[in-house]
């Protein structure tokens, strides 16, 4: 049966848009969407409207093809065999590292492959933390953090006796910069914060924050999971000591990510895990470590994942972050305007300097009920605390509904979301 596509018809054009801002017309949205096979599937008899890219973005055909080709034609273990396949696999794996390093303005040997942002931050907390953090030290983080930039520091504090200091968030959903400065007065050893909020879309002023933290003598650890998909990352300009991100939030595969760290810090850090690949020499008397980044990559790595990650970065760079940003800016402005029309809907987070992720509550409809109704209409959103419980507590919420847009999202999908919300209001009553 043909799915009802009427709600995906092109929306009427909205007036009053800023002519300096590119519109969808400049971004060949159909050509972009055609590269994502999953976007043409149906869910519960409706065309899929995928508004959960902040949890995981979809991979384009070219990433899928690259992973497929690796397994079909090049698969062998890396850095070991003196045979052709191993040499090809190693070259593809290291080329992916070079692509990612180049993309963020770093040297290849400063980029460690990890399972993702979570493992990258755990690596820093476990390795740098265990050598350089003691019972008298303070680790500063923010109430905005994803659990993956929160719990590793709690574990470190438990192990070492170090104290945690939580920087507050303003009612508008931005970082409280005065409280940030107050936290620095206590001379923390580490300051950890996110580049972009996965719940509120807030873009933090990273280079300003890293500069203030450095002046106070701290090292900085930045969670870039929600920034890397949306903007080019220049670690030199941003100025952190460590920067973590995940492939699957930026059109790559799951289970692979990167940790960038300053060379001199990585050199001084003990290994995170022990095993093959990460040693220089092993004897019964003791072992010595391989140079960075291999010191931190124990065991057979996720070779296919790394190669797919490199391909995703190439895909995004060739498509161009300027066009991507203009498209998302246009879409975010349109979504804000349409969400504003919905009576009883409360939006959290700033209206400016934000990405295209929207957290909201709608009357007293439970976010899970909302997402269930939307799902029945093929619309995928997220409901819950989004691994942001301290932030939800800050706003007195147990959770929100969250719709997130990406390079393949359309205004018609914003319209579908709004229509879905009205449908939910009819089911639960009491709202427009
Ligand atoms: C998704 C996300 C993470 C965790 O990434 P994983 O790939 O699950 O390790 C961390 N921080 C933010 C802001 C995220 O959005």
pLDDT at 401: 97
**Which residue, among 354, 363, 373, 374, has the nearest Cα to 431 in the 3D structure?**
363
Whether the CB-CB separation of 245 and 228 falls below 8 Å is answered with yes
| Annotated catalytic residue, options 164, 387, 423, 431 | 387
Strand partners, 401: 360, 383
Pick the CATH number of 24-59+320-428 from 3.40.50.2020, 3.90.1150.10, 3.90.1300.10, 3.20.20.140: 3.90.1150.10
Strand partners, 362: 345, 365
pLDDT at 25: 56
Structure-token pair, residue 43: 């869910």
Query: Rounded to 5 degrees, what angle do the CA atoms 22, 27, 33 make?
Result: 145
Strand partners, 142: 167
Structure-token pair, residue 360: 């909201």
CATH number 3.40.640.10 is the correct assignment for the domain at 63-317: yes
**Which residue, among 383, 346, 338, 339, has the nearest Cα to 363 in the 3D structure?**
346
CA of 406 to the centre of ligand 1 (A): 16
Q: Are strands 286-289 and 279-283 parallel, antiparallel or unpaired?
A: antiparallel
Of the residues 226, 248, 389, which should be mutated to test ligand 1's pocket, given the most ligand atoms within 8 Å of the CB?
226
Q: Domain boundaries in the chain?
A: 24-59+320-428, 63-317
Secondary-structure percent of the chain, ordered helix, strand, coil, rounded to 5: 45, 20, 40
SS3 of 174, please?
A: coil
Burial group, residue 289, by CB count within 10 angstroms (0-12, 13-18, 19+): middle
Residue identified by tokens 């719940």 is 199
Q: Is 251 a catalytic residue?
A: no
**Which residue, among 334, 330, 325, 328, has the nearest Cα to 418 in the 3D structure?**
334
Q: Cis link prior to 229 (omega < 30° from 0)?
A: no
CA of 222 to the centre of ligand 1 (A): 12
Structure-token pair, residue 290: 């391989």
pLDDT at 431: 62
Burial group, residue 423, by CB count within 10 angstroms (0-12, 13-18, 19+): middle
Establish whether residue 247 lines the binding site of ligand 1, counting it when its CB lies within 6 angstroms of any ligand atom: no
Q: What is the pLDDT along the chain (432 residues), one digit of tens a residue?
A: 344 444 343 333 333 344 344 455 578 999 999 999 999 999 999 999 999 999 999 999 999 999 999 999 999 999 877 899 999 999 999 999 999 999 999 999 999 999 999 999 999 999 999 999 999 999 999 999 999 999 999 999 999 999 999 999 999 999 999 999 999 999 999 999 999 999 999 999 999 999 999 999 999 999 999 999 999 999 999 999 999 999 999 999 999 999 999 999 999 999 999 998 898 999 999 999 999 999 999 999 999 999 999 999 999 999 999 999 999 999 999 999 999 999 999 999 999 999 999 999 999 999 999 999 999 999 999 999 999 999 999 999 999 999 999 999 999 999 999 999 999 999 987 565
Distances (CA, A) of 411 to 54, 333, 418: 17, 10, 11
DSSP label of 71: I
Q: Are strands 138-142 and 163-167 parallel, antiparallel or unpaired?
A: parallel
Does 24-59+320-428 match 63-317 in CATH topology? Answer: no
pLDDT at 7: 39
Distances (CA, A) of 120 to 222, 405, 431: 10, 25, 44
Query: Rounded to 5 degrees, what angle do the CA atoms 82, 84, 86 make?
Result: 65
Establish whether residue 200 lines the binding site of ligand 1, counting it when its CB lies within 6 angstroms of any ligand atom: no
Of the residues 141, 249, 406, which should be mutated to test ligand 1's pocket, given the most ligand atoms within 8 Å of the CB?
249
pLDDT at 183: 98
Whether the CB-CB separation of 401 and 382 falls below 8 Å is answered with yes
Burial group, residue 165, by CB count within 10 angstroms (0-12, 13-18, 19+): middle
Q: Are strands 46-47 and 42-43 parallel, antiparallel or unpaired?
A: antiparallel
**Which residue, among 29, 56, 9, 41, has the nearest Cα to 378 in the 3D structure?**
41
Burial group, residue 236, by CB count within 10 angstroms (0-12, 13-18, 19+): exposed
Whether the CB-CB separation of 188 and 139 falls below 8 Å is answered with yes
Establish whether residue 117 lines the binding site of ligand 1, counting it when its CB lies within 6 angstroms of any ligand atom: yes
């Amino acid at each position: 049966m043909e799915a009802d596509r009427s709600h995906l018809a092109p929306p009427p054009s909205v007036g009053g848009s800023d002519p300096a801002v590119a519109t969808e017309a400049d971004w060949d949205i159909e050509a972009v969407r055609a590269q994502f096979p999953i976007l043409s599937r149906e869910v519960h008899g409706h065309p899929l409207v995928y508004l959960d890219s902040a949890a995981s973005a979809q991979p384009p055909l070219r990433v899928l093809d690259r992973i497929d080709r690796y397994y079909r034609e090049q698969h062998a273990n890396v850095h070991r065999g003196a045979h052709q396949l191993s040499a090809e696999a190693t070259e593809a794996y290291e080329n992916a590292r070079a692509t990612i390093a180049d993309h963020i303005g770093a040297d290849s040997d400063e980029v460690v492959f990890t399972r993702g942002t979570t493992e990258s931050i755990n690596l820093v907390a476990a390795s740098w933390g265990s050598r350089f953090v003691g019972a008298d030290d303070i680790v500063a983080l923010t109430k905005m953090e994803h659990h993956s930039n929160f719990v590793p520091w709690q574990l470190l504090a438990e192990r070492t006796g170090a104290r945690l200091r939580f920087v507050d968030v303003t009612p508008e959903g931005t970082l409280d910069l005065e409280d940030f400065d107050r936290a620095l007065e206590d001379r923390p050893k580490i300051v950890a914060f996110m580049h972009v909020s996965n719940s509120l879309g807030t873009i933090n002023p990273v280079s300003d924050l890293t500069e203030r933290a450095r002046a106070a003598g701290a090292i900085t650890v930045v969670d870039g999971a929600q920034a890397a998909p949306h903007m080019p990352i220049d670690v030199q300009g941003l100025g952190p000591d460590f920067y973590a991100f995940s492939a699957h939030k930026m059109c790559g595969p799951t289970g692979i990510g990167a940790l960038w760290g300053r060379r001199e810090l990585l050199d001084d850090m003990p290994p995170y895990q022990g095993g093959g690949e990460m040693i220089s020499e092993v004897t019964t008397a003791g072992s010595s470590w391989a140079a960075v980044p291999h010191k931190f990559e124990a065991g057979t790595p996720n070779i296919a994942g790394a190669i797919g990650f490199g391909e995703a970065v190439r895909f995004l760079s060739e498509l161009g972050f300027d066009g991507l940003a203009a498209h998302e800016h246009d879409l975010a402005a349109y979504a804000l305007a349409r969400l504003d029309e919905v009576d009883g809907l409360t939006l959290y987070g700033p209206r400016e300097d934000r990405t295209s992720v929207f957290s909201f509550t709608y009357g007293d409809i439970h976010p899970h009920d909302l997402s269930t109704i939307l799902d029945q209409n093929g619309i995928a959103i997220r409901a819950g605390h989004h691994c942001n419980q301290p932030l939800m507590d800050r706003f007195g919420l147990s959770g929100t509904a969250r719709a997130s847009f990406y390079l393949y999202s359309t205004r018609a999908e914003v319209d579908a979301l709004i229509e879905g919300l009205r449908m939910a209001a009819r089911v639960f009553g009491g709202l427009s």
